[in-house]
Each structure stands twice: as structure tokens, then as C-alpha cells.
A and B are shown apart, each in its own frame.
Chain A
């Protein structure tokens, strides 16, 4: 836990620096404007476009340093804890669930939302939950089917379908 605290603080500090760097970017059509020209108060106009994000990111950076100092002085609870950041159960759950979610996201790009939901539900209910095959199949089929009728047909929000799109055209013929 102690190591995780300082690594996170360091990473957040770097992120703040990147935000500050990015805030200073000038307009795309005018390459003559120098970086960080926009972070101050412009005469008669008030703050420039980079003012708000730049100075707030600076505060973020200072806070990360502060968190680092608290870590060194062992003031915050995570910096006192010698427990591992993730115990065995947590690590396993994180990999299985987080990995499942990433797989879900990638699958959406290939076989669309409805196909991906079906696969994800089978993986989660049948694989991780160890429910029996029949209820798993029923739920995994029912959810994408209900979502299709709710979103695509009733709400008219068309979800991406990837390579499965041809399968849906006859359904549009029937219901739209």
C-alpha cells in the first residue's frame, strides 16, 4: 500500500505537468503565438484560454507534492499501511473482471454491442458466476434482445453492430 501511494502521487504529478504543458497551446491557425501566451490575464479581457486549466493543474501538481511529503512523514493512512495493495482475491477479481470489461469493449468494435453483450454475459454468469448452462443462456440471450427492442426500436438509438450488421437488416424491415 505504501509503495502504491507514492507511485500514484508521482504519476498524478506527471499528469498535472502534462495538463499544464497542454494548457499553454496556442490556436491552431496561428503558429506565431508562443506557448504559454494564453495562461495569464490579458489586458482589458481577463483570463486567456489557458488560464483556468493551467493554474488549476499547477495546484494539482502542488497537491501531488504535498501527498508525497505526507507519504514521507507517514501521515496519511495508506502511507502507514504495510499491507499489500491488492491481496490475492482482489488481484484475481481485478484481472478477471477488468479483463472481461476490456474484452467486452474490444468485442463491441468487432461484433457490435448486442453480440458483445451476449459473450460478456456468458463469460460473467457462466464463467465467473458458475451458474448452470440453461439459466446462463436464457439471461445472456434475453438481455441483448430486450436491449435491442428498447434502444434500436423503441428509443431509436442505433447501437453499433460491427460485422453482425447484415443480421439486423431484416429486423428493421419488420419493426421500423
Chain B
């Protein structure tokens, strides 16, 4: 590129910038090109559904001056997405939807060189919940019956779950360690596949999110025994929490939006405001209720605080189960 060309481009760029400043509303930061909306998981999962719904809400309500473009980066249980975010060229025009692999993947793959505390805390949209499910033909109605039956069958009892050393296996490990069980854990690609395996009685139990098992719950095929939440879920009022039946374990999945390290303060403020607006829409609130999502909007230092607590907790859990050293 010669000098003339470069100066021409600079002028053109400056002109374009001034144009967009003049036409845009008077806010500190406004995206001037489409915003990349990275999804840390594949198409069709909980995170993907959520991201596409938020994108649709933002588009429908005209909340942003430029569209959000969802891009799935499911590789390596989030490793691909995290390394991508770490080195993104334009941190002010990229945001990402995360799940708990945000905490576990950097611990399991130290070679990535990712420090999650450097990511920009845009906003937590919800927390997804976990329930313990069995097939109705198992004839099990309560958590105590589950413990007895699983003890009897030893390694014949199979828990299906999403991924290795991920949320579902963490819960399975907790059950094994605290109730003297020997449940075998088989990892699958997604929660939908796990629900299908359970409905076809290929596996004996699962710890699906409500949204993944809801269809089979309504038809009566799958029965929830216990919820791994602090309080009973409004959608399953008759299902006790684990703490009520004598356990001491609460586990949830964060559904948060983060910005890459190096996102400017102005951009962070803009995106927090944008996602707060999306959070407050009737569409999002309805979806939250229907899918049995918990948790309020959380951003800024509160969210960073939440992350550091979660990271410490996951490190302890993974160490205890031998998934890291």
C-alpha cells in the first residue's frame, strides 16, 4: 500500500467516523458495525437458545443501533471461544454468552493462558437450574428410593450427562461421594441427547436442566426427584430441594454475557445497559419463567465477585474429583 492510498483510506475513515457520530444519538459509545455475539456452545443448546432469543428481542425492540450476529464457537468445551475472545481484534464489538465451562475449562486446560477475571462483566441474564430425573417405569418416586435403588445396582446405575468434568459430572460426583453410590457416568454431546437416552431408558438417570426435560416431564415419562437449588422451583412446586431431604448442595449454571479483556469502559457501560434493557422486557421474563430459570440481573463488580467465588468453588470441586491437580 503506498502513501497516497493510505492517506486516502485515513481520510475516508475519518469521514465515515464523523458521519456516524453526527447521525448517531449522543451517547458515549455506540457500536458502528455489527456486534459479534459469540456463543460458547453449539447450536440448539441452552446457551444457544438464550443467545438467539436475546438477539431476537434486541432486534424486535430496536434496542441497539447495530445488529448482534450470533457465532457458535463450541470447540474444546469453550476453549475455542475463550482463546478467541482473548485475542479478538476489536474488543468493543464482541460479546460472548457463557456457561459454567467459563470457570472449568481454563482450569482443565491451563495451556490456554486465559484469565477469566480479565473479561469484562457485562451482565448475568439468569441462572439455569438442575434437577435429578428418572424414567417413570423405574417406579421411583422419592430421593430416598433413588439412593436405595442406586446403591443396590452399583455400577449398573448409569447417569448420562453433558460433557466430561462438566456440570453434570460434578453433581454425579457429589452424589457418589456423599451417599456411598457407584453411579457410572457416560458423557454425551448435549442435554437434548441425554434426555432422549433417558426417555428411551438407555440410561437410568440424568441431571438435565428443566428446559431439556420439560417435554417428557409434561407427558409423564420423566419424573424429577430433587432440585439442586436453594429454594423449590415455581415450575415444580412438589419437588423438594436436595437440602430439604438432608443434603447440602446447591448448584446452578450461570447464563452470563461477558466482554473480551480490553473492552473499553464506555463500551462495557453500553452493553450492560443494553442487556439490562433486554432483561427487563416481557419476552425475556416470560421465557425465564417458562424455562424455570432463576437469578436476577447482575453486572459490574458484583458479577466479578460472583465469578471469583465460582472459580474458587469449581477449583475445589474439580480437585476433589480428581479432574485437575
Min distance, Cβ A63 to any Cβ of chain B, angstroms? 29
Min distance, Cβ A60 to any Cβ of chain B, angstroms? 24
Instruction: Give the complex CA separation of A152 and B69 in angstroms.
Output: 10
Structural contact, A172 and B9, CB atoms closer than 8 A: no
Residues of chain A within 8 A (CB-CB) of B67 are: 156, 176
Interface secondary structure of A, over-half rule: helix
Q: Quick one: which of B16, B36, B325 contacts A170, CB cutoff 8 A?
A: B16
Structural contact, A156 and B34, CB atoms closer than 8 A: yes
Instruction: Give the complex CA separation of A160 and B127 in angstroms.
Output: 34
Segment at the interface with B among A11-19, A88-96, A98-106, A161-169: A161-169
Instruction: Give the complex CA separation of A169 and B13 in angstroms.
Output: 8
Instruction: Give the complex CA separation of A166 and B5 in angstroms.
Output: 13
Structural contact, B325 and A166, CB atoms closer than 8 A: no
Q: Does residue B305 face the partner (Cβ distance < 8 Å to A)?
A: no
Structural contact, B109 and A29, CB atoms closer than 8 A: yes
Chain A residue at smallest Cβ distance from B33: A172
Structural contact, A172 and B108, CB atoms closer than 8 A: no
Segment at the interface with A among B17-25, B138-146, B190-198, B205-213: B17-25
Given A158-B69, A163-B9, are A170 and B108 also a contact pair (CB < 8 Å)? no
Q: How many residues of A contact B (CB 8 A)?
A: 20
Q: Quick one: which of A30, A168, A169, A172 contacts B17, CB cutoff 8 A?
A: A169
Instruction: Give the complex CA separation of A170 and B111 in angstroms.
Output: 41
Structural contact, B13 and A166, CB atoms closer than 8 A: yes
Q: Does residue B107 face the partner (Cβ distance < 8 Å to A)?
A: yes
Structural contact, A158 and B16, CB atoms closer than 8 A: no
Chain A residue at smallest Cβ distance from B112: A28
Instruction: Give the complex CA separation of A172 and B110 in angstroms.
Output: 40
Instruction: Give the complex CA separation of A164 and B16 in angstroms.
Output: 12
Instruction: Give the complex CA separation of A172 and B17 in angstroms.
Output: 12
Instruction: Give the complex CA separation of A168 and B90 in angstroms.
Output: 15
Q: Does residue B66 face the partner (Cβ distance < 8 Å to A)?
A: yes
Q: Quick one: which of A29, A152, A158, A173 contacts B20, CB cutoff 8 A?
A: A173
Min distance, Cβ B24 to any Cβ of chain A, angstroms? 9
Min distance, Cβ A50 to any Cβ of chain B, angstroms? 15
Structural contact, B12 and A158, CB atoms closer than 8 A: no
Residues of chain B within 8 A (CB-CB) of A138 are: none
Structural contact, A172 and B34, CB atoms closer than 8 A: yes
Min distance, Cβ A84 to any Cβ of chain B, angstroms? 40
Instruction: Give the complex CA separation of A110 and B1 in angstroms.
Output: 10
Structural contact, A173 and B9, CB atoms closer than 8 A: no
Q: Does residue A134 face the partner (Cβ distance < 8 Å to B)?
A: no
Q: Does residue B32 face the partner (Cβ distance < 8 Å to A)?
A: yes
Structural contact, B9 and A167, CB atoms closer than 8 A: yes
Residues of chain A within 8 A (CB-CB) of B16 are: 166-167, 169-170
Q: Does residue A43 face the partner (Cβ distance < 8 Å to B)?
A: no
Known: A170-B20, A173-B19. 7 other contacts (CB 8 A): A27-B108, A158-B69, A165-B13, A166-B9, A167-B13, A169-B33, A170-B19
What 3 A-B pairs come out closest when comparing CB atoms? A166-B13, A169-B16, A28-B111
